[in-house]
Structure 1
Amino acid sequence: QEPYHWPLLIYLLLVCLYPFASSCAHTFSSMSARARHICYFCDYGALSLYSLSSAFAYGAYAMPDPWVSGILHRYFVPVAALNSFVCTGLSCYSRFLELERPRLSKVLRTAAFVYPFLYDNIPLFYRLLSCFWSDSSWNDAVAGYCYHLLFAFLTGFLFTSHLPERSSTPGGDIGFSPRAGHSHQLFHICAVLGTHFQLEAIVCDVRSRRAWL
């Protein structure tokens, strides 16, 4: 009932949406080519909403102290909303290029995911650099954001590299065989783990910075 917790509530609602949308997309995409496109359009939209919810939470609880009430703080969420809208359209458009121009399709889709991630995490990058380069205090929230970023980069690496199946050899060592798992499966595991650490870090900021914010 307190306005202070509304951004957290928005984040919690939308953070549950993208795993559900992804599960539905993978479940029903085999029904037809049309269903496949529709399912993944919804999946991309849910990912963009998750990105926007992260911006809501970061803007409310994770903004670096010197930036509070500054220009970036005031326009952080509106720009994130614009990013979500544009990147959803870009990722959906990339699906129509899969057959004719697969490389361009991959580049556009990757850019549609990477750009909003980099923008949303600008406050985190600054806070982490401040901890390493100055006397800023290291706390549980910063540690959680470190793990979140680590798994986010692993997620991006798996999405773009297609490892380990790219280097699989029939009957080879388990580290290079299909038994080690598919990159898309590992991609989802890392994404959910990263979201878990993000949630833990945001909750730490909600508790520790309430009196100051």
Structure 2
Amino acid sequence: MVCEMKLRGSFGANAAGSILQRFGAIAIYPQQILEDVLPKVPSTVRESDVPKLFREPYIHSGYRPVEQDWKYYLLSLFQPHNEALNVWTHLLAALVLLTRFVVFLETASPFPTVYSLPLCCFVLACVIYLSCSVLAHLFQSKSELAHYSFYFLDYVGVGTYQYGSALAHYYYCTELDWLWVIQPFFLPLAALLGWLSCIGCCFSKIHFQRPYPIRRKVFQVVPAFLAYVLDISPIVHRITSCWATGCTDDAVWYHSLQILLFVVASGFFSCPVPEKYFPGSCDIVGHGHQIFHVFLALCTLAQLEAVLLDYRSRREVFTARGDEGTVYAACNLFMLLLMCSSCSALYLRGVIKRRLRKRGD
């Protein structure tokens, strides 16, 4: 018995000593311990180490190597590279948007109703486009097929967001005198342009190679530009009408802000600045596409705030937009657009997959 107690005491003392030794090692060598616990990921590489498809103008470093495990690209969420801020800006925007919407629901009237369906579609469209953007920038470096596939997914999100915005603007933000002008064609044309925007971006991604010709911008930008002009027309009319009569509408301020932020974002999307003037200096932080993401995220949040204000204060004019059947039809058109865009993207993914397989053979 005495021997057994001594052995137990000795074992306990050794165990306690071992634990204290490990804590001491963590205190003295924290970085080494973390490196042993966390998965190791390859360091970023320079532009010469990745295929031409993955290179961006004036960005010389911070690229993730291709053909790594999927887990590597997932874990690169926490690694500095030239796509990290593109991922985080839209990831954080999606979280902020969902949080704001949940807070709004706590004080909103009974939900859901027919009146709230366009709002639900709009919020869903925002989440889809932000999430698709996050996935595209996080996983596009996996391979050439993944690059095309995830950017096609991103373009599906863009087209969906365009129609979701049109839906919210039409039902909550449009003045009645403008409604009578656009009512016959606004939502069907918005859905068509959203689909054409997705197709145009996918086609230009497949058809044109670097250095991109100006025709690529035509296929990529023209349908999106026309969609934006149509979708924002009720807001422009609302702003000009409000300011002409001495504006005191809080929602109009947010609508004005969303237009201003979108214009600035479009400028950075179209022009590779500031990296054009400081090549190699904006690789990880500060290049134009990152700035575009920041302003687009802020634009979406300002737009959400404007729509929520209009949702609360303009319920009495909702019935002028049509009966319940037309609201259901408009929201079903949202799902149809999402389905058509996804099918088109899957078809073009098959085209590029066959092209890559033929090239490999």
Normalising by structure 1, we get a TM-score of 0.90
Alignment correspondent of 2:117: 6
Alignment correspondent of 1:127: 238
The one of 296, 310, 317 equivalent to 1:212 is: 317
Alignment correspondent of 2:96: none
Aligned-partner SS, 2:276: helix
Contact 2:265-2:293 at 8 Å conserved across structures:
yes
Q: Aligned letter for 2:137?
A: H
Alignment correspondent of 1:82: 192
**2:261 corresponds to 1:151:** yes
How big is each residue's C-alpha offset from its partner over 1:131-163, in whole Å with a ceiling of 9 and x where there is no partner? 33x216431111001110011001100011111
Q: Aligned letter for 1:127?
A: R
CA distance in 2, matches of 1:153, 1:160: 11
CA distance in 2, matches of 1:100, 1:169: 18
Aligned length: 205
Greater relative contact order: 1 or 2 (C-alpha under 8 angstroms, separation 6 or more)?
2
Contact 1:145-1:198 at 8 Å conserved across structures:
yes
**2:163 corresponds to 1:52:** yes
Equivalent pairs: percent with the same residue? 30
Contact 2:193-2:224 at 8 Å conserved across structures:
no
Superposition pairs of residues 1-213 of structure 1, within 5 angstroms? 1-68=112-179, 70-99=180-209, 102-103=212-213, 104-132=215-243, 134-135=244-245, 137-168=247-278, 177-178=281-282, 181-213=286-318
Aligned-partner SS, 2:317: coil
CA distance in 1, matches of 2:248, 2:274: 35
Contact 2:197-2:224 at 8 Å conserved across structures:
yes
Residues 84/10 of structure 1: CA separation in 2 closer, same or farther (3 Å cut): same
Residues 97/138 of structure 1: CA separation in 2 closer, same or farther (3 Å cut): farther
CA distance in 2, matches of 1:20, 1:34: 19
CA distance in 2, matches of 1:32, 1:112: 28
Alignment correspondent of 2:88: none
How big is each residue's C-alpha offset from its partner over 1:152-197, in whole Å with a ceiling of 9 and x where there is no partner? 0011000111111111167xxxxxx527601111111111100000
Alpha-carbon offset, residue 71 of structure 1:
4.4
